[in-house]
Structure 1
């Protein structure tokens, strides 16, 4: 159990939270221990109260002999029993003898209203403190009927009456009105005195305290909540089901101001700069990684750290270096900006425990993040990244150990080192540079304002390839677009090749951190990564003579499976995330692994995707085959047949994240349109398999708030038909 954060309303130290959990009857008490999300109704409610109050200032009022609730909520809270179920005022009075010394203010809330946010609790406390009123209510503006009383106001805005639910006129139904949510903050002595006075008249309702205050001329303050989901009480099983939907939806709501937790996706940790992505979070995450290295006895080997061209990347890399140095962990700090695959290469090349790159890959320019690589250059699996993020999120500023960078450099625990030549040499040891020389290849390269121009430019120069670079300047805004090398963002590259009238043999592109590739053929046609993987798999097998299967993620073309079957080799499907691709390659001894989003690697190279290496390999393929990309594609289609892929994405709203999986579970699919469903795979998202290697996939992105839709079909028309069906399904 955690104590309250330090930045809370000033009155918190003299306030006690009284949580009413006795219930009106056995049925209502049973609902309190019913499952809600990952715990129970009462536990969710208390979790929100605990986020504001320390345990010693929380009193839970239970029914007589209710030990189950105590066992669930924790022994560190204060418990009292309501001897008789007389009403809410009587329940508050039962807490009198347990009030801590110095308690001046009482907040009253309910265990059966679990969706009240900690922010709203802070808000009502702050409003009570600042206005000086004796009583503050939590209110909400709603439309339609709610099981709450109404608040009526006069022309001057002051509260004139608070009605019980059964006192509300029927004309209110369907109309917009202000309700009394039922959470109160009051001067403790005055509240208890009012409860006692009303009890003498056999009135035990808290709302009567409010009415009495109004009648005596007291001005009542309100704090209004605007998320009406918070109003949801749980008094019936139907309301419990509604609450479950709200809890699920909240899991996916971006928390912009109050929740800056570090969360790893499929490609590292990424967040919007100034919100989740801050230098403070960079330090917390690095401290967690340093702790893991020390615990495992691998700290002496040290780490290698680099950054790309994004805003704050250099400052973040230096902040990371200070944390590792402060923990006595040696650091190799790569100067300037570097590609992600260079850091992937650097970890095993230098024998480091971890490689760390500050980047947000292909995300829009307002994002940044961090990728972590293990000693062998592979991405950590989920259990490892879960440990990193969970520990980092528990750390405070006081837990971070740093050493000033200038001191660390002078002491030699941080060493600046350039590895560009070593990385280029390692690629050229695998790529047949000599075969490309003399081929007279002429290419255009679009690094998309990213980090590939130095390394890729050096390799192409060594190959004697004539290369023209566009968008090569250092621009943290990436020209105002996300630096992803896909069809929609390579218009300049496509236009340049088309306008060259046969001058160029190829267009190459890499994303912001250079681990993805995009290709445009000599005619100015964008070549999908699905097709590129087919070409490279054929080339590695038939020209280079490298045998072995192929690994693809579940969003990548099934034509690879057809080509593998033609070769008599194995194809392996894995979850999205390149760590799963490299794990699959190791499992079957594959020669190639890739994903439709632009990432690939080959056996014998790094255990991560590399757009720079991929560009060099494509140049080698053209030189050694003597064929154009368009010619190679037609040749491969003769072997595999043709499948047509399409993809789209829509913003992944919280409602959608709840509704889409539920609809898929509730309505088992037998057809997509007129096409029969062969099987459905829920390994990663929902993949719907049709006849003849046709398929459709719905999957929520692990790196962006997007629902991705992928299809592959026998014809462009059928592919469009399948994609339209998916669009209709998710927006219905």
Structure 2
């Protein structure tokens, strides 16, 4: 069974992720293209550095070629944002990125984009998923890659220069050149090294890379740029006195920032900094879009600017849809993805890295100084989070347990409201009655990994941790069998 989640299709290599399943899924996509008469627009296929990614991309190209659909196959592994942009550039019917993003090394998957670079919406993936699962291997039409290349129905192309030019068109390179910033970057053995390296070198940054070589095992951990995984990057920044450290995840669509002191800057705080910079320093106007798991300080900052903050469900496809609908300036999520108006309709860790460096160069301030400035506008809220291994029965048991917890009046603070729009989110009365929003806690099943995510935001770190521990204790249940994370 193939199932799409919030970030495309992901499965364990050799179990759900097999070349046979890749071929069936691509046949379903090819059928959709044929029904709509879009064969000449074709598809664009890219891939990351994971096990089987390049082979899966070639297998996909053989299927589309077998269905007489023009196919562009990238010449080498590439960041997902580059694949996203290239899809838009050539106006393909679909763009395909073989990646499992930040998931553990034993996973792989596929992200599918529209011709404008946006991810397919749920009703579309449901339809493709249903058709895929009805197909058998005998339904798949394919021709050998060498034959397809010789016939010209498949062509190999490279979009590195076009993508770099696109990013640099948004960035003040001259300001960065004058600043002479010292930067260390950790691409986490993923695909962010080449394109970000070109941009930073052209901006005359004094740049050092760590973990830049290809390693499909990602050093034995998930290529997710979180606090624990970036211990070495933080040490290098602090001991070698870099101005900042940057990290991108396995497919380079997520970003993490380390300040000049070696402190990990939560993406919630980074979103505040970038929204402030774009609005107040660059003079751009517009609201901000966040998902429901992202800091509500963005609401306060938008209100201070006389702008609107729009909330969406989890999944970057909803953020970009919200940005388009409201002409928003910035869209971001607490898991590390962001983009700005006019750039691609997807998250981009390469672009975000360049924008962060521009912000420091133009303002002439350290990250820690900018944080204090923005907190002076919004006040402080603190985040805590934890994950529980997810089991099949938890999807039924956990919501029931949380409802019982609330019905029994066992919340640690006065409840202001409960939302079940995406998981269960509990809002608490603010400590300060002058504040429009206070603390909240969220419990939802991941759409990309077999985990139950528990997050909280509160006026103090201790309160945020207390809320997470309270929900964790209330939700805990004995595991039974592994849950497929695709939903």
C-alpha separation in 1, matches of 2:409 and 2:275? 33
Shift of 1:348: 1.1
Counterparts in 2 of 1:482-497, with a 5 A limit?
Answer: 482-497=222-237
Counterpart contact for 2:99–2:109, Cα < 8 Å: yes
C-alpha separation in 2, matches of 1:672 and 1:345? 49
Residue of structure 1 equivalent to 2:311? 573
Shift of 1:665: 3.8
Q: Which moved more, 1:715-724 or 1:664-673?
A: 664-673
Q: SS at the partner of 2:10?
A: strand
Deviations 1:164-214 (A, max 9, x none): xxxxxxxxxxxxxxxxxxxxxxxxxxxxxxxxxxxxxxxxxxxxxxxxxxx
Counterpart contact for 2:401–2:475, Cα < 8 Å: no
Residue of structure 2 equivalent to 1:423? 163
C-alpha separation in 1, matches of 2:31 and 2:78? 26
Residue of structure 1 equivalent to 2:453? 708
Task: Give the TM-score normalised by structure 2.
Answer: 0.95
Shift of 1:310: 0.2
Choose from 200, 209, 216 the match for 1:476. 216
Counterpart contact for 2:190–2:249, Cα < 8 Å: yes
Choose from 75, 87, 103 the match for 1:363. 103
Deviations 1:626-651 (A, max 9, x none): 00000000111100000000111010
Deviations 1:577-617 (A, max 9, x none): 00000011112111000000000000000000000000000
Choose from 328, 337, 344 the match for 1:590. 328
Residue of structure 1 equivalent to 2:184? 444
Choose from 339, 346, 349 the match for 1:601. 339
**Structure of greater relative contact order (alpha carbons < 8 Å, 6+ residues apart):** 2
Residue of structure 1 equivalent to 2:15? 275
C-alpha separation in 2, matches of 1:669 and 1:485? 38
C-alpha separation in 1, matches of 2:336 and 2:206? 24
Choose from 347, 355, 371 the match for 1:617. 355
Shift of 1:672: 5.8
Choose from 429, 432, 456 the match for 2:172. 432
Are 1:373 and 2:113 counterparts?
Answer: yes
Residue of structure 1 equivalent to 2:440? 695
Decide whether aligned partners of structure 1 residues 619 and 361 sit closer, same or farther in structure 2, where only a CA change above 3 A counts: same
Shift of 1:358: 0.5
C-alpha separation in 2, matches of 1:685 and 1:265? 14
C-alpha separation in 1, matches of 2:181 and 2:382? 29
Residue of structure 2 equivalent to 1:399? 139
Q: Which runs of 4+ in 1 moved over 6 A?
A: none
Q: SS at the partner of 2:311?
A: strand
C-alpha separation in 2, matches of 1:402 and 1:342? 27
Deviations 1:487-543 (A, max 9, x none): 01101101111212xx20000000000000011000000000000000000000001
Counterparts in 2 of 1:197-596, with a 5 A limit?
Answer: 261-500=1-240, 503-596=241-334
C-alpha separation in 2, matches of 1:670 and 1:522? 47
C-alpha separation in 1, matches of 2:355 and 2:468? 33
Deviations 1:115-144 (A, max 9, x none): xxxxxxxxxxxxxxxxxxxxxxxxxxxxxx
Counterpart contact for 1:437–1:465, Cα < 8 Å: yes
Counterpart contact for 2:385–2:465, Cα < 8 Å: no
Decide whether aligned partners of structure 1 residues 666 and 716 sit closer, same or farther in structure 2, where only a CA change above 3 A counts: closer
Counterpart contact for 1:712–1:719, Cα < 8 Å: yes
Shift of 1:674: 3.5
Counterpart contact for 1:672–1:722, Cα < 8 Å: no
Task: Give the TM-score normalised by structure 1.
Answer: 0.64
Q: SS at the partner of 1:583?
A: helix
Q: CA RMSD in A?
A: 1.0
* Structure 2 unaligned regions, length at least 5: 431-437, 478-487
Decide whether aligned partners of structure 1 residues 591 and 324 sit closer, same or farther in structure 2, where only a CA change above 3 A counts: same
Q: SS at the partner of 2:45?
A: strand
Counterparts in 2 of 1:586-665, with a 5 A limit?
Answer: 586-665=324-403
Q: SS at the partner of 1:489?
A: coil
Counterpart contact for 1:672–1:725, Cα < 8 Å: no
* Structure 1 unaligned regions, length at least 5: 1-260
Counterpart contact for 2:402–2:475, Cα < 8 Å: no
C-alpha separation in 1, matches of 2:473 and 2:144? 56
Counterpart contact for 1:570–1:588, Cα < 8 Å: no
C-alpha separation in 2, matches of 1:301 and 1:267? 24
